[in-house]
Structure 1
């Protein structure tokens, strides 16, 4: 009976061991196969947005842009400035007046004295210099400022969405890796249990295999928590609860053509069209207009007055008294507050100079940032290629050899366990590097795309 049981267990061991060899071979080449399919560059905006209920990056970007309240608010503010621009090109309201002039106080009769008259008229003031047109120009530039603000805000928002989506994709792939490793560990556990039943292995190996399964379960819980955290971030950024929670298996990669530009020495001219720089340029234009507007305070302002005086009664020769018509011009000239106006003009010019320095600083920071990102990308890519071509292949062979040694009682489970953990860590690190490449490209495209 013992021989029969041993024979049955050994046949079971051979079946499990053959499964282990197949699983080990599959997991060792899985990373290279996955990288060949993953690294095929695809366009960010794809027509296949909802195939199979998958949540593509272009899908999230479309929904986020449609639901973004900040974008809508900036659009409304642009309309407000446009309305103010139209309203600013009007003269101030005229002043109408009416008065009884030179009325005698002894009789209060209107026709007693020849100078008594009922006077009605209008006064109109004209703003200094080109004040009206400059105010209209400033409001029109504010309209352009809000439009550029929309662009600058959106590309920053887009970068945040791309990073959250890529992180979610990383943790989804991490969960799949853990699930594949779990199959392998369960086969090892079953293999050791079968050997333990026939007395070929002691209980410590069996407990060690069970412990590795428990640790793997803990890593799976952490991965699921991180995946859900990034999905929640996507919901927040999209301003809606996204119905799909499954991302495509193929990583949506970014165009690498901007890398060449990021490494060039002609970055300043390329950055001039970036919304962040255009936003500063628009602020400079507004500052210049405000300087010109402040300079108008040194110009004189004019006013015109027209009036008509109606009289009653007769002249000494019996003829009716004629009415009076009056016209006049008033001029306000800055004699006493010229020093104050000069100080205000100086302050406006200093503000303009400060914004111009801000632009220079932004251009230099962007240039150094792009150089740094280009170097980071090269290092990350080389490191990822090293993992795919050498590290993972070597670890797979080493694990396969350790399994052979363990099966033939020439090795121990600790070595198998250590190699399994190293390979698992290497696969996760390769995946991390793959995603980091795309995050770096996203940051480069923020400036140059």
Structure 2
């Protein structure tokens, strides 16, 4: 009779284990097991939108862009006019203003103009630099989207793993209670009971480790979500509609898609800014003009006794860039090198991103193949092994520790399958980030 109770416990282990395996085999992209304790959980897109809207870095980027734009406007204006006040022709023997007709009190204004179109080009360059900074906000949005999606996927995996482990623990606790009862009446061996209790304690350690990882992920999420991070309970993996549509077209070349990535657009704006710098360097070959107007008041009389008239003077200044070898030529050469460096950096970024897309696509395809193998073969074989060991234990041809080992191996495979499903999602996450297909 005591063996019948153990067999019933083992049967319950197999039955519920099969249900857990079937749940683990379900498509994780469509759904994860929901819990009744959740009350209208936030969606992934909702959390991302909230995080982007309240992202302090977005504000910082906007402030920086506005500062560059305003400074560009300021730098593109004419220099402030200069006022000149002085005394000319003052005799040193008497310091009298009305003694010598040459003595005068002068007031003048000076105004200097920019070289060619340099002022308008400076403003254009500043606006391009500001636009480049503003596009960094789109890069930041992608970074936040990827980070939150990464944590969402990991939390979904950990929650799925927690449920698998918890089901396994409940089953072994039930088995431990049966063995404890039978041991009390001398119907079970002490080593069987100890083995079952040891397995329960091992599962406790797994659950504790799982909770630790979940708490750490939520702490990381609090950077973007604040206190909401502690209420995040993912119920489904992302659907990746845009990414699926893109790959459904079987693209042979990813460069057109990569060219629309915000990071590349930032590089494009920097290239335009540096090209404007070349135009600005060409303007340094133009002369720079200045105008000066002076008015001089005289108090002394002429030699014939008539009042000496006031004087007006006007001057035009002009600098001549005649010796350009060590200044203007070098500025132009430096500006051209900056354009070349910016274009090379853009090409390098495209190459790196294209390589990352290809690597992520390979990871995704191989992970999908491995996941299919788990679903079609490995878990099925593990289940059959567990059932065979169970029958052997019922027939006294195998030991309880063999059954525990077989059940543990089955759980391990279920957890490995869940990990592969999460890795597949992370590969999609990397591809969506690189191709801007969220």
TM-score by structure 2 length?
A: 0.89
- Tell me the C-alpha RMSD between the 2 structures: 2.7
8 Å CA contact 1:305, 1:327 repeated in 2: yes
Which of the residues 215, 234, 238 maps onto 1:252? 238
- How many Å apart are 1:161 and its aligned residue? 1.8
In structure 2, relative to structure 1, the CA distance for the partners of 1:19 and 1:322 (3 Å cut) is: same
Map of 1:278-293 to 2, 5 A cutoff?
A: 278-293=265-280
- How many Å apart are 1:437 and its aligned residue? 1.1
8 Å CA contact 1:129, 1:299 repeated in 2: yes
* Matched residue, 1:28: 18
SS at match of 1:164: helix
How big is each residue's C-alpha offset from its partner over 1:208-266, in whole Å with a ceiling of 9 and x where there is no partner? Answer: 1121111111111111111111111111343x222643513333343341661796222
Map of 1:155-174 to 2, 5 A cutoff?
A: 155-174=142-161
* Matched residue, 1:3: none
8 Å CA contact 2:288, 2:319 repeated in 1: yes
In structure 2, relative to structure 1, the CA distance for the partners of 1:109 and 1:215 (3 Å cut) is: closer
* Matched residue, 2:342: 355
How big is each residue's C-alpha offset from its partner over 1:252-282, in whole Å with a ceiling of 9 and x where there is no partner? Answer: 3433416617962221111111011111112
In structure 2, relative to structure 1, the CA distance for the partners of 1:431 and 1:100 (3 Å cut) is: same
- How many Å apart are 1:333 and its aligned residue? 1.4
Unaligned ranges ≥5, structure 2: none
* Matched residue, 1:45: none
* Matched residue, 2:28: 38
SS at match of 1:354: helix
* Matched residue, 1:236: 223
Aligned residues: 431
In structure 2, relative to structure 1, the CA distance for the partners of 1:242 and 1:357 (3 Å cut) is: same
Question: Does 2:104 correspond to 1:117?
Answer: yes
* Matched residue, 2:70: 83
Map of 1:92-103 to 2, 5 A cutoff?
A: 92-103=79-90
How big is each residue's C-alpha offset from its partner over 1:278-329, in whole Å with a ceiling of 9 and x where there is no partner? Answer: 1111221222222322333222111111122233455566654333222221
- How many Å apart are 1:186 and its aligned residue? 2.0
Which is worse superposed, 150-159 or 194-203?
Answer: 194-203
* Matched residue, 2:210: 223
CA distance in 1, matches of 2:109, 2:217: 69
Question: Does 2:383 correspond to 1:435?
Answer: no
8 Å CA contact 1:263, 1:374 repeated in 2: no
Unaligned ranges ≥5, structure 1: 1-5, 43-49
- How many Å apart are 1:111 and its aligned residue? 4.2
8 Å CA contact 1:111, 1:313 repeated in 2: yes
How big is each residue's C-alpha offset from its partner over 1:411-447, in whole Å with a ceiling of 9 and x where there is no partner? Answer: 2223212211111111101110111111111110102
How big is each residue's C-alpha offset from its partner over 1:31-76, in whole Å with a ceiling of 9 and x where there is no partner? Answer: 434553632289xxxxxxx961535433432343233222211111
- How many Å apart are 1:30 and its aligned residue? 3.0
Which is worse superposed, 261-270 or 85-94?
Answer: 261-270
8 Å CA contact 1:29, 1:393 repeated in 2: no
Question: Does 2:281 correspond to 1:327?
Answer: no
* Matched residue, 1:211: 198
Which is worse superposed, 22-31 or 81-90?
Answer: 22-31
Map of 1:389-404 to 2, 5 A cutoff?
A: 389-404=376-391
In structure 2, relative to structure 1, the CA distance for the partners of 1:143 and 1:132 (3 Å cut) is: same
CA distance in 2, matches of 1:204, 1:436: 39
In structure 2, relative to structure 1, the CA distance for the partners of 1:41 and 1:306 (3 Å cut) is: farther
* Matched residue, 1:407: 394
SS at match of 2:284: helix
* Matched residue, 1:420: 407
* Matched residue, 2:369: 382
Which is worse superposed, 425-434 or 207-216?
Answer: 207-216
